[in-house]
A and B are shown apart, each in its own frame.
Chain A
């Protein structure tokens, strides 16, 4: 699903990540690590949000560096603590991201209903609770036809019904061929998610468990 070659991420003199080689097989992968280990930095790199040295390859074909558009069309990302300009509405963001990712109106509406966003669809994001923001970011991450979805701390701030919905969505998309990287310090079995592989971020690198 995902391979990494000579990935290095530095801020000034400080090395955050140095991963010479890494291969993640298709399916649902769990990326673990303590706070500050570099999990979010890695997921932001894979999502194509921040620059880095080296390369990342999706399905041995697409790279965020060389295939900027094609890669981003099929790799989606939900942030751990989503923040959006406070005056936008969920509708604005879903339309914006949905159009870019090529999501159909039917599939967008289905996600909106499933994640319970419709009741605050037209309110300003600045008035949302952290749980509402999380639902919105998850909705954005499932838009389009993603081959890989990165969910960073996906269960944080969600209530029990939203957790069940998210689990359903992961199962549904996985059956249809979408791979997942779940970035979390929590145990995925607690949420009833069977992972195909686990990786640990520690000492500025990532290794298989």
Chain B
């Protein structure tokens, strides 16, 4: 390994594995502790024999790739790594070699599992799977390499031309600040939350292909799906009241603040609302569907209110979340229409916001 490659590997690869030691420890525990050898083989054989099933694995690898990029991007621009700016002065061949080795080392855990699959697919003659896995490993490593190359080539204070053109023509609406913040800083949390809640909505809706429709059961599913946004709404409260501190020095009326938070929450809950409108069971009428959208939004605002009451402390909030779900389930079981429960939740939000907006203080 060349001295240049060694430095890049130390700064990016070693630090990446150090920082994620607990994560990899957990993966190893699951793979070599809970899952037995025969089960490994069964899963591997299943994946190797169905090339389309491999896309599930590639989805996991994509999540891992995002994890790598979330680490490497900021790491390159860390103050102590400023010396890395000299890397762009090296010959192209040296840079490409170093980055390819670095990318491969970063992707090593996925590559190791890929080799295991290649062995299983190769010995059984599943050549489509062999080609697919080799292509995927090479593709992922190449993507990491290209993105690292771009990061190393960009000067930290040089905005891209497109970014500059966009910024001069468009002023961000304040109601979209949080959506952009979460997509930039917490993409994994965002996508996992949305995957959980949307799959829950689809799963509950699909019950009625075989079962008799019951609005109460469906509403309970919606309750659990929208409650899944607890971590996102917690991030929002911290963002607005802590990271965007200046907002509380601005002369916004109570109505403005009410609407602002409601719009931001509605933006966060767009995927669930779309899935609800697309997959609602056939026996439901539009009034019930509208009621469920209000119900879901009300649950979102109720979670926001709990954040305000409990200083956005997740530990303290969980007890309240539990009681919120218990009370909502109780009301649902007694056939209170979701629209009424949703309006009640919005009423609670209105009162809590009035009392707590200027009283809330987040301390780290």
Query: Residues on A close to B: CB < 8 A?
Result: 11, 47-51, 64-65, 68-73, 75-77, 79, 83-85, 87-89, 91-93, 95-97, 100-101, 122-124, 127, 140
CA of A79 to CA of B242, assembled, Å: 13
- Nearest chain B residue, comparing its CB with the CB of A71: B251
Contact of A92 among B156, B164, B172, B252 (CB under 8 A): B172
CA of A73 to CA of B251, assembled, Å: 5
Interface 9-residue window, one of B12-20, B177-185, B320-328: B177-185
Contact of B159 among A11, A100, A122 (CB under 8 A): A122
When the two chains form their complex, are residues B167 and A122 in contact, meaning their CB atoms are under 8 A apart?
yes
CA of A11 to CA of B246, assembled, Å: 21
Interface flag for B168 (CB, 8 Å): yes
Contact of B172 among A51, A70, A88, A101 (CB under 8 A): A88
A32 to chain B, nearest CB (A): 23
When the two chains form their complex, are residues B177 and A69 in contact, meaning their CB atoms are under 8 A apart?
no
Q: Sorted from nearest, which 5 A-B pairs have the closest CB atoms?
A: A122-B167, A73-B251, A100-B250, A72-B251, A69-B251
When the two chains form their complex, are residues B159 and A123 in contact, meaning their CB atoms are under 8 A apart?
yes
When the two chains form their complex, are residues A96 and B249 in contact, meaning their CB atoms are under 8 A apart?
no
Complex contacts, A49 vs chain B, CB 8 Å: 245, 248-249
Interface 9-residue window, one of B53-61, B116-124, B130-138, B356-364: B356-364
With A70-B251, A83-B243, A140-B246 already in contact, 16 other A-B pairs whose C-beta atoms are closer than 8 Å: A11-B363, A49-B248, A51-B359, A51-B361, A72-B251, A72-B252, A73-B251, A76-B249, A85-B181, A85-B243, A88-B177, A91-B171, A92-B171, A92-B172, A100-B250, A122-B159
CA of A71 to CA of B252, assembled, Å: 11
Query: Residues on B close to A: CB < 8 A?
Result: 156-157, 159, 163-164, 167-168, 171-172, 174, 177, 180-181, 184, 239, 243-246, 248-254, 358-361, 363
Complex contacts, A95 vs chain B, CB 8 Å: 171
When the two chains form their complex, are residues A100 and B252 in contact, meaning their CB atoms are under 8 A apart?
yes
When the two chains form their complex, are residues B243 and A87 in contact, meaning their CB atoms are under 8 A apart?
no
When the two chains form their complex, are residues B156 and A68 in contact, meaning their CB atoms are under 8 A apart?
no
CA of A49 to CA of B242, assembled, Å: 10
When the two chains form their complex, are residues A97 and B363 in contact, meaning their CB atoms are under 8 A apart?
no
Contact of A97 among B163, B172, B250, B361 (CB under 8 A): B250
Interface centre among A64, A72, A83, A89 (most CB of B within 10 A): A89
Complex contacts, B361 vs chain A, CB 8 Å: 50-51
When the two chains form their complex, are residues A51 and B250 in contact, meaning their CB atoms are under 8 A apart?
no
Interface of A (DSSP majority class): mixed
User: Contacts A50-B361, A92-B172, A127-B156: A97 and B251 contacting too (C-beta < 8 A)?
Assistant: no
Could you name 15 residue pairs across A and B whose Cβ atoms are closer than 8 Å?
A: A11-B363, A51-B358, A65-B358, A68-B254, A72-B251, A79-B246, A83-B243, A83-B245, A85-B244, A89-B167, A91-B168, A91-B171, A96-B174, A123-B167, A140-B246
When the two chains form their complex, are residues B177 and A72 in contact, meaning their CB atoms are under 8 A apart?
no
A94 to chain B, nearest CB (A): 9
B231 to chain A, nearest CB (A): 19
User: Contacts A68-B358, A96-B174: A87 and B181 contacting too (C-beta < 8 A)?
Assistant: yes
- Nearest chain B residue, comparing its CB with the CB of A128: B157
CA of A76 to CA of B174, assembled, Å: 19
Interface centre among B163, B245, B360 (most CB of A within 10 A): B245
CA of A82 to CA of B156, assembled, Å: 20
B153 to chain A, nearest CB (A): 16
User: Contacts A51-B358, A96-B174: A77 and B156 contacting too (C-beta < 8 A)?
Assistant: no
CA of A144 to CA of B250, assembled, Å: 11
Complex contacts, A89 vs chain B, CB 8 Å: 167
Contact of B249 among A47, A65, A70 (CB under 8 A): A47
A21 to chain B, nearest CB (A): 23
Complex contacts, B358 vs chain A, CB 8 Å: 48, 51, 64-65, 68
When the two chains form their complex, are residues A72 and B249 in contact, meaning their CB atoms are under 8 A apart?
yes
- Nearest chain B residue, comparing its CB with the CB of A72: B251
CA of A89 to CA of B245, assembled, Å: 16
Contact of B164 among A77, A85, A87, A122 (CB under 8 A): A122
When the two chains form their complex, are residues A91 and B167 in contact, meaning their CB atoms are under 8 A apart?
yes
CA of A88 to CA of B244, assembled, Å: 11
When the two chains form their complex, are residues A85 and B249 in contact, meaning their CB atoms are under 8 A apart?
no
Complex contacts, B171 vs chain A, CB 8 Å: 91-92, 95
Complex contacts, A97 vs chain B, CB 8 Å: 246, 250
Complex contacts, B164 vs chain A, CB 8 Å: 122
- Nearest chain B residue, comparing its CB with the CB of A96: B174
CA of A134 to CA of B174, assembled, Å: 21
When the two chains form their complex, are residues B184 and A48 in contact, meaning their CB atoms are under 8 A apart?
no
CA of A70 to CA of B177, assembled, Å: 25
When the two chains form their complex, are residues A85 and B251 in contact, meaning their CB atoms are under 8 A apart?
no
Complex contacts, B174 vs chain A, CB 8 Å: 96
When the two chains form their complex, are residues A100 and B251 in contact, meaning their CB atoms are under 8 A apart?
yes
Complex contacts, A64 vs chain B, CB 8 Å: 358
When the two chains form their complex, are residues B159 and A127 in contact, meaning their CB atoms are under 8 A apart?
yes
CA of A84 to CA of B358, assembled, Å: 20
Complex contacts, B181 vs chain A, CB 8 Å: 85, 87
- Nearest chain A residue, comparing its CB with the CB of B239: A85
Complex contacts, B250 vs chain A, CB 8 Å: 72, 97, 100-101
Complex contacts, A127 vs chain B, CB 8 Å: 156-157, 159
A158 to chain B, nearest CB (A): 19
